[in-house]
Structure 1
Amino acid sequence: MSEPFKQTNESYLHIENWQKHNPNLRAGFTTRNGGVSRPPFQTFNCGLHVNDETETVIENRSILASKLNMPLDNWVSGEQVHGTNVHIIDEREKGRGARSYDSSLKGIDGLITNKKGILCTAFFADCVPLYFYDPITEYIGMAHAGWKGTVNRIQEKMVQALVKVGVQPENLLVAVGPSISQVKYEVDEPVIQAISEENKQKTVIPLKNDHYLLDLKQLNVEILLQSGVLRHNIEVTNYCTHQDKALFFSHRRDNGKTGRMLGFLGFQK
C-alpha cells in the first residue's frame, strides 16, 4: 500500500488523499524540523509538557499555524492521560491547550468536531495518532492512542461517538499516523494480557522471558474493523518514529528526554 502521509516541506507531512478530496481540510503530522527549540528538543518541538521553554514552543506552534493558515487561538487539544475519554468540541472551546498545557481539555484523549475553523491537535513521540474524517457529514476526529488507549479501545469509543452524531461507520475514513513500529516496540506480559486472543494472533510476536513485539498500528486497525470501519477506508503509514530519527522525536529511543510531534486535523473556515 502506498504511503498516505506525504512530505512537501520540512515541517510536516499531510494526508494526501484527504486533502485532495477536500482542499479546505488540513490533515497531517509534524516532523522534528523547521523550528527554534534547542537540544534535546531540536528543533520543532510542539509539546508544552516536556520542559521545553514555553515561549519557544509557542513560536514553533505559531510557525505551523502560519503554514496551515489556521490561527493558533483556534487550536484545541486534550490533556492526554492515556485514557479513552472523547470530547465533542464547540466554538467556545477554541484555544483550549493552544498556549498553555493547563488550559487543555482535562482527561481527554479524543477530539471530535464539525465546526469549521477549529484545528483538533494532539501530541506524539511513539504513540499512535488516529485521524477520522466523514466526507458526508464533515465530522472529523483526532485521537491519541498509546498502548493503554489502544487496548482500552479508544478507537472504538471514537467511532461510537461519531455514530451518535449521525456518522455512518461505513462512510468513515481513518488514517493511522507515524508511530513506533513493531520491530522497535518490545513490551511485557501485562500489556499482552490486555489484548484479546483474536487480536494477539495478528499483532504479537513472542520473544524470550515473557517479552513480546507488539504491532500497535495493526492492533488499532483490527479494533477499527471490529468497530464497523471498512478496511478499504483505513490508511496506515509506513513511518516509524523510532527508526526515522532525522524526521521524528521518539520517547523510547531518546530515553524520555525529547520533544513531541503534533497531529492536526481541521477545516479552514
Structure 2
Amino acid sequence: MVEAAVEVIRAEALNGLPHGFLGRRGGVSTGLVAGLNVGLGSADDPAAVAENRRRAAAAVLPDARLVTCYQVHSALCVEAGEWADDARPHADALVTNRRGLVLGILTADCAPVLFADVQAGVVGAAHAGWKGAFGGICEETISAMERLGARREDICAAIGPCIAQASYEVDEAFRDRFLAQDSARAMHFVAGREGRWQFDLEAYVSVRLAESAIGRIERLGLDTYAAPDRFYSFRRSTHRAEPDYGRQISLIGLP
C-alpha cells in the first residue's frame, strides 16, 4: 500500500529551515480522528498516533528526534531535551540550538507559532491558545531563544492554522479580560449576536509578537474550524457533540 502524502504547509518567513504546519492529511487514524492525528491524549489507537507522529517528523526533518511537551495552556517555555513521550515536561513552548531535534507543538484551534533566528541557529515553537498568548507564551519563547544566542531583531515568526475570527465566538467576560489588560485590545473583537463577540486570535498573537520587536511576522490566515477535511478543530468537534477530537502538529528544526 502506498502511503498517503503528508500535507506540509510552509511559511515564507522560515524559508531555508526544515519546518511545516501539518493538518490531518496523510495519516493512518480512522473514525472521528481520521487522518494524521498526533494527539497522545486522544482516544485514538496509540499505534496509529505513533505512526502519525513518525510520518509527521519524517515529512519535515527525516531522522530527527521529535520532541514535544505536555501542553497545559501556560506561558512556560523550556529548552528541548531528549525526554521520552511519557516524561514530557509541562510547558507550552520549546526552543533549541541543537541539530538532530525537531520541535513539535500540537493544536486543534489554538495558534501554533514557529520561530527562527537563522544567523544564530536557534529555533522555537509555541502553542498560543488565548490563555497562553494572554499570559505571554510568545514573549517567553523569544526570551528563551535569546538565552541561546538569538537576537530579537533577527527572529522570524510564522503563525499557522488556527481558529479564525468568524468562527471564534466569545462572551462579554472574555472580552473584558483582554480590555483590562490593554484597552487597545478592543481591536481584536467585533460584535456578534447579542452579548457575544468574535475574537481574532491570530491578529492578537501577531500584535503581541510585533510588540516584542522581532524581525518578521507572517500570518498564514488558515481557519481550522472551517476546513474539516484539512484540519482538526476542538470547537467544531464540540459543536457537533463528538466525544473525541484530533490534534495536528507544527514542526521546526535545524538542518
Shared fold, TM over 0.5 = yes
Aligned pairs (5 A) from 1:92-241: 93-97=81-85, 102-105=86-89, 107-195=90-178, 196-230=181-215, 233-241=216-224
Counterpart of 1:213 in 2: which secondary structure? strand
* Kept in 2: contact 1:204–1:213 (CA 8 A): yes
Q: Residue 71 of structure 1 aligns to a residue in which SS?
A: coil
Map of 1:266 onto structure 2: 253
CA distance in 2, matches of 1:236, 1:242: 17
Q: Which moved more, 1:59-68 or 1:119-128?
A: 59-68
1:14 is aligned to 2:9: yes
**Number of positions where the alignment pairs a residue of Structure 1 with one of Structure 2:** 246
Q: CA shift at 1:176, angstroms?
A: 0.5
The CA distance in 2 between the partners of 1:142 and 1:68, in whole Å, is 14
**Inter-partner Cα distance in structure 2 for 1:220 and 1:18:** 16
SS at match of 1:81: coil
After superposition, the C-alpha distances for 1:113-132 in whole angstroms (9 at most, x for unaligned) are 00001010011110000111
Contact 1:84 1:157 in 2 (8 A): yes
The amino acid that maps onto 2:75 is T
Paired-residue identity, %? 28
CA displacement at 1:193 relative to structure 2: 2.5
Q: Quick one: distance in 1 between partners of 2:234 and 2:210?
A: 28
Query: C-alpha distance in 2, partners of 1:181/1:16?
Result: 18
Per-residue deviation, 1:218: 0.5
Partner secondary structure for residue 162 of structure 1: helix
Q: Does 1:26 align with 2:31?
A: no
Counterpart of 2:77, as a letter, is: V
State the AA in 2 paired with 1:79. Y
Counterpart for residue 68 of structure 1: 60
Return the alpha-carbon distance in structure 1 between the equivalents of residues 234 and 27 of structure 2: 19
Unaligned stretches of 5+ in structure 1?
A: 1-8
> Could you state the TM-score of these two structures normalised by the residue count of structure 2?
0.89
Aligned with 2:71: secondary structure?
coil
Residues 16-42 of structure 1 show CA distances to partners (whole Å, capped at 9, x for unaligned) of 43564x2xx321121212211111110
Counterpart secondary structure, 1:51: coil
- In the alignment, what sits opposite 2:33? 41
Give the AA of the match of 1:203. Answer: H
In the alignment, the residues of structure 2 paired with residue 252 and residue 204 of structure 1 have an alpha-carbon distance, to the nearest angstrom, of 18
CA offsets, 1:212-240, max 9 Å, x none? Answer: 1110000011111111224xx10001211
Secondary structure of 2:32 counterpart: coil
Unaligned runs of 5+ in 2: none
Structure 1: how far apart are the matches of 2:35 and 2:236? 17
Aligned CA distance change for structure 1 residues 141 and 42 (closer, same or farther; 3 Å)? same
Does the C-alpha gap of structure 1 residues 194 and 166 become closer, same or farther in structure 2, counting only changes over 3 Å?
farther
Counterpart of 2:33 in 1: which secondary structure?
A: coil
Alpha-carbon separation, structure 1, partners of 2:84 and 2:251: 14
CA RMSD across the alignment: 1.9
Normalization by structure 1: what TM-score?
A: 0.85
